[in-house]
Copies of this chain bind each other. A is one copy, B any other.
């Protein structure tokens, strides 16, 4: 890449970020649908046509908005994680950082309260769900770090309690303009967590949520399955690469996986189509297990 093109690339990125930020504001204010490309472009001092030089569709913009903010927030949290301080200090810092970032990105948060889910397509929905899940898992580990082994049975409870309190405070800051000292607030939250941990242990309370807590089949399974399916398909891609086959066949098989992924993105994936597509793996021993696994997950036949 020449200097010129690096520079251009840089400009490109800058402009994209401008658009993302303006769009975040507007979408926060009016919702995804009501925010027109026209308005977003104008706010970015661009013509409607130019918008499409940077994003190939409104949906892609939305996806990049999500990735952008998630990315920056994650980055800040990771900075905290890398600091060399004791776990309690770290927990406090994480809480205040989280608040600072989310309040700073208030528009982004409000935006999410609008209509992301329905329209953005399965891909982003999954990305979103995964980031949330990742966040939850990390929070539990962090809590374990602070409260030690004894807290283990209560980890899920504690996560719910902490997230609830944290998000409610952030919500109040954003919606009612409450102004709080973030460090004090972080300390306050941690103290309340202490209170509750102490209470739970003292009472030998029964945990509210454990791994054994039942979960409504319909929702849970759907979520799990989607995730598992995704993993199976990814494993398929890896296995295909390790096959002792001609390059052309490898490409074809990868194509099949991609077609399946594509179909699964759709609102109502057609089972028969996937059933058929996966038949393309027939005769490849290495794929047999994965194929059967996929069939089980999607409730399709192994042809």
Q: Which residues of B contact A34 (CB under 8 A)?
A: 33, 115, 117-119
Q: Which residues of B contact A114 (CB under 8 A)?
A: 114-118
A106-131 interface mask toward B, CB cutoff 8 Å, 1 = contact, 0 = none? 00000011111111000000000000
Q: Which residues of B contact A215 (CB under 8 A)?
A: 176-179
Cα A303 to Cα B220 in complex, Å, equals 34
Q: Which residues of B contact A188 (CB under 8 A)?
A: 205, 208
Q: Which residues of B contact A273 (CB under 8 A)?
A: 259, 273, 276-277
Q: Which residues of B contact A191 (CB under 8 A)?
A: 199, 203, 205
Whether A5 sits at the interface, judged by CB under 8 Å, is no
Cα A82 to Cα B278 in complex, Å, equals 54
Whether A163 sits at the interface, judged by CB under 8 Å, is yes
Whether A31 sits at the interface, judged by CB under 8 Å, is yes
B277 touches A209 (CB 8 A): no
Whether A167 sits at the interface, judged by CB under 8 Å, is yes
Whether A213 sits at the interface, judged by CB under 8 Å, is yes
- Count of this chain's copies in the oligomeric assembly: 4
Q: Tell me which of A191, A259, A275, A279 has the highest count of chain B C-beta atoms within 10 A of its own C-beta.
A: A279
Whether A1 sits at the interface, judged by CB under 8 Å, is no
**A contact patch SS:** helix
Whether A152 sits at the interface, judged by CB under 8 Å, is no
Q: Which residues of B contact A213 (CB under 8 A)?
A: 178-180
- Please count how many residues in chain A sit with their CB below 8 Å of the partner chain's CB atoms: 70
Whether A234 sits at the interface, judged by CB under 8 Å, is no
Cα A194 to Cα B177 in complex, Å, equals 28
Given A177-B215, A199-B192, A280-B303: A160 and B169 interface contact (C-beta under 8 Å): yes
Q: Which residues of B contact A168 (CB under 8 A)?
A: 160-161, 163-164, 167-168
B31 touches A119 (CB 8 A): yes
Whether A42 sits at the interface, judged by CB under 8 Å, is no
Checking B112, B118, B255 against A31 with a beta-carbon cut-off of 8 angstroms, the contacting residue is B118
Can you give 14 A-B contacts (C-beta < 8 A)? A30-B117, A33-B33, A112-B113, A113-B115, A114-B116, A160-B168, A167-B168, A176-B223, A179-B215, A180-B208, A180-B213, A195-B196, A195-B199, A279-B303
